[in-house]
Structure 1
Amino acid sequence: MIANTDYSTESQLLTQLKVRLADVNHDLKDTDILRFLRGRSHNLTDAENMLRNHIQWKIDHDFNKALTWAIAPQVKEGFPFCIDGLDKDGRVVMYYPLGLWKGRQFLSAGWGPELERHLLYIAAYGYHIVEKTTPGGKYQVILDLADLSYWQTTYYDAMQLILRVFREFEQNFPETMERAVVINAPWILDVIFPLIRPILTGSTIQRLEIYDNSPEKWVPVLLDKIPMGGFPSMFRKKYQTLVEEWKANN
């Protein structure tokens, strides 16, 4: 792996990688290709293989049209998210209240394909906002597990979907996440995380912070990087009073 400050070497590797991909029809920008190069520690062969797989993945899922998909209203309501925050460095802040997501109900009712489309839409929308706000930049994400039940987490199909989503995220969106903060984690996460950990890269694990339902632990962590006005609107609606009370007492 080259040093982070060795931009001339990275530029040369980028040029070489683009030459290797000359036989492939794609719409990737230099900033996109750099993510894969860095995600594979500047190993040209590994980055090329990852990029070729990514290009095919986009074709297989018609990913470039994801933002135009009409998602069923009930699926949108069952899997809410919010991507309208900014941290102190101008990075996009996303909020996913995963504890409210109704995976078991929708999967058992046969909504699997539509749910998968919605998750792809969320990924496409998030990437679009990041590129629009800070091209080539990264984002922070708050994963809220409040209200996540044992009943939801022990459903096999839901677990398989979670594992597949994590795997596809790792393979197709490297070097996009600056930090992921999990809040209100229940005890069941101790059972789930060992299943997810093997498919996460070391880089992602290093950027992952997990906190239980003690606000005194996660509120200061979030405020260290995100101003009160920079929290996603859905997060502010739920937690603004709690955060302000913590600030008043500390």
Structure 2
Amino acid sequence: MSGHVGDLNEKQAKALQKFKEAVSDLLCPEQDDFYLLRWLRARNFDLKKSELMFRNHIEWRKKVSADKILQDYSEPEVLKKYFTGGLHGFSKDGSPIWIDPFGNIDLKGLLRSAKKSDAVLSKVYILEKLYSVMFKEQTQKVGSRVDQVVVIYDLENCSRRHLWKPGLDCFCEIVAMVEDNYPETLKIAFVINAPRIFPVIFHLVKPFLAEETAKKIHIFGSNYKDELYKYIDKDQLPSHWGGTSVDPDGDPKCSSKICPGGIVPKEYYRKYDLEAENLTSVEVGRGSSLQLDYTVKVPNCIIRWQFSTEGFDIGFGIYRRTKDSRQKAGDMEEVFPSQRVNSHLILEDGSIVCSKAGTYIIRFDNTYSWTRSKTIRYLIEVLEPEDGYSIPGSSSSQSLSSQN
């Protein structure tokens, strides 16, 4: 049985009754069986886990003032203009559709311009609007319960810049917030125009997804439109994604409802960066270098870095050992040419795809400085692709549940 109202087995029906009794001190009149079953399904009808999840949610609502957010929250201008995505149209069964051209998002620009807490709260605002307004309106309109959303993530233009750690951490925090406090809100999700680095991105996001959520996500290359048409009529889709809807000015992406993202102008940047926190600190002596070894177990892993120096520049390069024994930089395979960087002026960050397995050397070079040692603060990570996952072709799709 599905665990939804009208489709419960005997065990599920008993669990629902016991759950009502266990959380009766917290319930409001509008929290009906449809609502309560979301929490039970999210924890596979485990009463103790479902009750803990629900009680944690009530405490979380108090902390973020979720009950007042529609009246009190004011979204920062930079998020309104550059935080991708928006609600547009309805699926064939009446579910609202969220379309997010995530490949165009400037994560670094957004988090250098707005607080992470505001980025999270902006999503809380949208979810509260869904539950308080749109779901209720659609339920009355279609004559049956509507309490889930269809999501389309367009990853066109997605690249290694989306692996910037503070930005990806913020995205994962939003995913975790939704899973913990709005369970079973996703009806089905389509990830379209998936790039070659998608397995790495998914490997980082997957730990924050519930197993049932992952089963609802389907991955496509560029040939996705026929699949969308199974769930969405063309007049409910913007023309850019295969539908017939356009803005009054003819915009095929319907940017009046769906924020298209783009590079955040530096005028929005705050005067400081938060991403330099919690980095390892080490000193590189004058006339010397620091070499850090990292093991890449399989091809197509990504090495991601960010670092800063205090007061002066430093040389930075990446090499791959060609022998088991230690080698000098000049004897190794150069994969990221060494160059002096002004990491004392701005946090350096970047990433490379490692086409080969092996031992990679991150080298901080201070050999050119005979009078000054350099203090470095760094974070370096090796990101592996999701096990067994291959990039879907342009004419095929793949459910993430096959990777569980």
CA distance in 2, matches of 1:78, 1:130: 26
- The one-letter code matched in structure 1 to 2:23 is L
Identity of aligned residues (%): 27
Aligned length in residues: 236
Q: 1:105 to 1:47 in 2, by over 3 A?
A: same
CA distance in 2, matches of 1:70, 1:233: 31
Q: Helix, strand or coil: the match of 2:230?
A: helix
User: How far does residue 157 in structure 1 lie from its aligned partner after superposition?
Assistant: 0.6
- The one-letter code matched in structure 2 to 1:219 is K
Partner of 2:187: 178
CA distance in 2, matches of 1:106, 1:183: 23
Partner of 2:38: 35
Q: Is residue 145–residue 184 contact of structure 1 (8 Å, CA) maintained in 2?
A: yes
CA RMSD of aligned residues (A): 2.6
User: How far does residue 6 in structure 1 lie from its aligned partner after superposition?
Assistant: 2.8
Partner of 2:214: 205
Segments of structure 1 that go 5 or more residues without pairing to the other structure are 241-250
CA distance in 1, matches of 2:46, 2:31: 19
Partner of 1:133: 138
Q: How does 1:1-250 map to 2 (within 5 A)?
A: 5-6=7-8, 10-24=12-26, 29-30=31-32, 31-68=34-71, 69-128=73-132, 129-134=134-139, 135=145, 137-151=147-161, 153-212=162-221, 214=222, 217-231=223-237, 236-237=245-246, 238=252
User: How far does residue 211 in structure 1 lie from its aligned partner after superposition?
Assistant: 1.4
Give the number of the structure whose residues are more often helix, by fraction.
1
Q: 1:90 to 1:186 in 2, by over 3 A?
A: same
Q: 1:27 to 1:78 in 2, by over 3 A?
A: farther
| Cα deviation digits, residues 9-36 of structure 1 (max 9, x gap) | 5444333212211333667611222211
Q: 1:102 to 1:2 in 2, by over 3 A?
A: closer
User: How far does residue 234 in structure 1 lie from its aligned partner after superposition?
Assistant: 8.2
User: How far does residue 158 in structure 1 lie from its aligned partner after superposition?
Assistant: 0.4
Segments of structure 2 that go 5 or more residues without pairing to the other structure are 140-144, 247-251, 255-404
CA distance in 1, matches of 2:102, 2:3: 37
Q: Helix, strand or coil: the match of 2:188?
A: strand
Q: Helix, strand or coil: the match of 2:98?
A: strand
Q: Is residue 99–residue 144 contact of structure 1 (8 Å, CA) maintained in 2?
A: yes
CA distance in 2, matches of 1:101, 1:94: 15
| Cα deviation digits, residues 48-83 of structure 1 (max 9, x gap) | 111111111111111122222121222111114221
CA distance in 2, matches of 1:25, 1:75: 34
Partner of 1:248: none
Q: 1:29 to 1:7 in 2, by over 3 A?
A: farther
Q: Helix, strand or coil: the match of 1:174?
A: coil
Q: Helix, strand or coil: the match of 1:225?
A: coil
- The one-letter code matched in structure 1 to 2:135 is V
User: How far does residue 90 in structure 1 lie from its aligned partner after superposition?
Assistant: 1.8
User: How far does residue 144 in structure 1 lie from its aligned partner after superposition?
Assistant: 1.3
| Higher-RCO chain (CA-CA 8 Å, sequence separation at least 6) | 1
Q: 1:150 to 1:198 in 2, by over 3 A?
A: same
- Structure-2-length-normalised TM-score: 0.53
Give the number of the structure whose residues are more often strand, by fraction.
2
Q: Is residue 37–residue 43 contact of structure 1 (8 Å, CA) maintained in 2?
A: yes
Stretch deviating more after TM superposition (69-78 or 119-128)? 119-128
Q: Is residue 78–residue 114 contact of structure 2 (8 Å, CA) maintained in 1?
A: no
Q: Rg bigger for which structure? A: 2
CA distance in 2, matches of 1:26, 1:62: 17
CA distance in 2, matches of 1:112, 1:72: 11
Q: 1:89 to 1:25 in 2, by over 3 A?
A: closer
| Cα deviation digits, residues 113-149 of structure 1 (max 9, x gap) | 3222222222223334234313453221111122223
- Structure-1-length-normalised TM-score: 0.83
Q: Is residue 191–residue 220 contact of structure 2 (8 Å, CA) maintained in 1?
A: yes
